[in-house]
Amino acid sequence: MSLFESMGLRSEILSAIQELGFEQPTPIQEKAVPFLLESDQDMVALAQTGTGKTAAFGLPIIQQIDNTLKAPQALILSPTRELAMQIANDLNTFSKNMSKFNIAVLYGGADIRAQINSLEKGAQIVVGTPGRTLDLIKRGKLRVNEIKWLVLDEADEMLSMGFKDDLDGILKDTPAEKQTLLFSATMPAEIVSIASKYMDNPHEISVGKKNTGSENVEHHYYLVHAKDRYLALKRVADINPNIYSIIFCRTRMETKEVADKLMQDGYNADALHGDLSQAQRDHVMARFRSGHLQMLVATDVAARGLDVNNLTHVINYNLPDDPEVYIHRSGRTGRAGKKGISITLIHMREKGKLRDVERKLGRKFEKQDVPQGREICEKQLFNLIDKVEKVEVNEDEIEQYMPVIYKKLAWLDREELIKHFVSVEFNRFLTYYEGAQDINVDEHGYDERKEDRKDRNARGRSERGERGRPERGGKGRRGDYQYSRFFFSMGKKNGISKRSIIDMINQQMPGKSVEIGSIEVLKGFSFFELDNRYERDIVKAFKNARFKGQKVNIELANKKK
């Protein structure tokens, strides 16, 4: 007999959760479900998001609902539209084998008439956001004066989003004899105030210490100069090829800037911020939930209600001012028994703030070194090999192309073929990180780059000419290479980035190890430098090149007419 069966749940509910693959209850479910089935005492539950809270309150409520009564018996309030919809979907799944059972979900930004219709059909459970719920109460379309259960899910989030007045307006119309259930990840003073005002001697359960993070999450920080924060972010992404992460920024402007940079640099990323329409927001969130996006850049407000269980990392582009905000962020990874990593990028002035978060969290952060280029190249190389080894070959589809492929590659022996194949991807990272600097800063703020900066700048001026650009005829010399400078007919408005130019050079000149110099990407066009021994080869290689369907033109910059 499973623990779910021993709790006394009805067979219709047990069959539904068995179909979902529920085998053993989570700690919050193990504590909450038996209590709510046996007691009508109010309850405060402290648990991180993603620990199975919906089933913890949903299963006992569904069990005890009178489905012959076509009126609201349970009201569940959540801070966001997305979370409300998710709760309603979960409850519909848990109750799918029960007849005459109706659930209404209420939220802003949607047709209110459809929501009124769902209430008029006789919904026994109502799930809603505070604003729309209060609106429908004032319109007389939602009556909460006879409800038996009131659930405040993620109550701390509702308060931080400014819903206190809405909650007060809703709660004053509910009956005194109802059972009130409050679920929260943290226990700030406002939650204590609500509990004392609207709850009667609540029973408290917890699956962790108050105001602390999940035990499944490691907390890392990287110490860099503020100007190097984006470079550090890219290296963290590159050293984790299978990253699936939310990147938190302070402002919507910063969110847009970071997301735009990541996308221009070829990363599978997008932004979530307050300027998006609901349709745009839903599209981005659907792509992220389905795994089509690896990185989602978001503000705290925009990410509320986004519930994803498989995040490998949470990245704090900035350390939040409120330690409890950090606890919420980090709690989005390390769910469902899996391990997760919360990463924070800080500069010297934020070290004191980091200590405040550590005290609140009750955990020490581990200082990590920003990965170096060679380390990243090695990780990406072996990740590529793992993918090739495990890829599923579609024999039927690829068979017709194999004779041409065999003929094309017949001149290569086994070792050379492997080298060529691996280099297609490996050269991209090798070129990008060649000469990459160490951007780590030690605990005392020491940066070894400062020690040789004057010497390096002087050397750069002498090698490249007074203004730092190649001399005469588009050519310049640095180190052991002479470079030619080329005009490239596309720029930022076409989606071109430094990485996309490097990728195109590697694609158009396969098998050739071409030294690439500086790259300058402007709005409508770009410039790049290349080993001058390949001047003719590069022009010939790009003769029929295209980028996203558009023809690409390149020519030697400043060439004589």
Tokens 């158009």: give the residue.
Answer: 508
Instruction: Determine the Cα–Cα distance for residues 249 and 262; give it in Å rounded to an integer.
Output: 14
Note whether residue 185 is domain-resident. Answer: yes
For residues 414-434, give the mean pLDDT.
Answer: 79
Task: Check pLDDT > 70 for residue 458.
Answer: no
Note whether residue 211 is domain-resident. Answer: no
Q: Which amino acid is at 334?
A: G
pLDDT > 70 fraction of the chain, expressed in percent and rounded: 89
* In a shared domain, residues 103 and 229: no
Q: Do residues 426 and 377 lie in contact, with contact meaning Cβ atoms separated by under 8 Å? A: yes
pLDDT digits (tens, 9 = 90+) for 20-78: 877 788 888 999 999 999 999 999 988 766 678 899 999 999 999 998 898 999 999 99
Tokens 């966001």: give the residue.
Answer: 80
Counting every residue, how long is the chain?
561
| Residue 364, helix vs strand vs coil | coil
pLDDT at 553: 87
Confidence band, pLDDT 50/70/90 cuts, at residue 464:
very low
Task: Check pLDDT > 80 for residue 211.
Answer: no
Task: Give the relative orientation of helices 11-19 and 53-64 as an angle to the nearest 10 degrees.
Answer: 150
pLDDT at 457: 45
* In a shared domain, residues 411 and 333: no
Q: Which amino acid is at 281?
A: R
Task: Check pLDDT > 60 for residue 1.
Answer: no
Q: Do residues 509 and 515 lie in contact, with contact meaning Cβ atoms separated by under 8 Å? A: no
* In a shared domain, residues 468 and 353: no
Q: Do residues 239 and 375 lie in contact, with contact meaning Cβ atoms separated by under 8 Å? A: yes
| Residue 532, helix vs strand vs coil | helix
* In a shared domain, residues 292 and 339: yes
Instruction: Determine the Cα–Cα distance for residues 203 and 43; give it in Å rounded to an integer.
Output: 5
Q: Which uninterrupted H or E stretch holds 352?
A: helix 351-361
Q: Which amino acid is at 522?
A: L
Note whether residue 182 is domain-resident. Answer: yes
Count of other CB atoms within 10 angstroms of residue 211 = 18
Task: Check pLDDT > 80 for residue 505.
Answer: yes
* In a shared domain, residues 317 and 382: no
Instruction: Determine the Cα–Cα distance for residues 347 and 442; give it in Å rounded to an integer.
Output: 10
For residues 223-240, give the mean pLDDT.
Answer: 92
* In a shared domain, residues 222 and 341: yes
Report, in angstroms and rounded to the nearest whole number, the Rg of the chain calculated over CA atoms. 29
Checking 281-284 for CB contacts under 8 A at 24+ apart, the result is none
For residues 428-443, give the mean pLDDT.
Answer: 77
pTM value is 0.56
* In a shared domain, residues 320 and 407: no
Task: Check pLDDT > 90 for residue 222.
Answer: yes
* Least confident range of 195-209, 429-443, 455-469: 455-469
For residues 94-123, give the mean pLDDT.
Answer: 91
* In a shared domain, residues 427 and 469: no
Q: How far is residue 109 from each of residues 112, 154, 298, measured CA to CA in Å? A: 8, 21, 20
* In a shared domain, residues 174 and 272: no
pLDDT digits (tens, 9 = 90+) for 336-395: 678 899 999 998 778 888 888 888 888 899 999 999 888 888 888 888 888 888 888 888
pLDDT at 409: 87
* In a shared domain, residues 306 and 354: yes
Note whether residue 494 is domain-resident. Answer: yes
Q: How many domains does the chain have?
A: 4
* In a shared domain, residues 245 and 270: yes
* Least confident range of 205-219, 305-319, 517-531: 205-219
HSE, side-chain direction, 13 A CA sphere, residue 272: 29
Note whether residue 439 is domain-resident. Answer: no
| Domain end among 333, 355, 371 | 371
Question: What is the domain-level CATH number for residue 270?
Answer: 3.40.50.300
| Residue 166, helix vs strand vs coil | helix
Question: What is the domain-level CATH number for residue 512?
Answer: 3.30.70.330
* In a shared domain, residues 36 and 128: yes
CA dihedral 423, 425, 430, 436 (to 10 degrees): 180
Note whether residue 260 is domain-resident. Answer: yes
Checking 377-386 for CB contacts under 8 A at 24+ apart, the result is 377/426, 377/429, 377/430, 377/433, 379/238, 379/239, 379/241, 380/238, 380/241, 380/425, 380/426, 380/429, 381/422, 381/425, 381/426, 381/429, 383/241, 383/242, 384/422, 384/425, 384/426, 385/422
Confidence band, pLDDT 50/70/90 cuts, at residue 561:
very low
Residue-range definition of the domain harbouring residue 396: 374-433
pLDDT digits (tens, 9 = 90+) for 3-19: 787 888 889 999 998 88
DSSP 389-428: HHPPP-HHHHGGGHHHHHHHHTTS-HHHHHHHHHHHHHHH
Q: Which residues is 485 bridged to in the sheet?
A: 529
Note whether residue 212 is domain-resident. Answer: no
pLDDT at 336: 66
Note whether residue 44 is domain-resident. Answer: yes
Alpha-carbon dihedral sign for residues 486, 487, 490, 495:
positive
pLDDT at 147: 95
pLDDT at 50: 65
* Least confident range of 184-193, 214-223, 372-381: 184-193
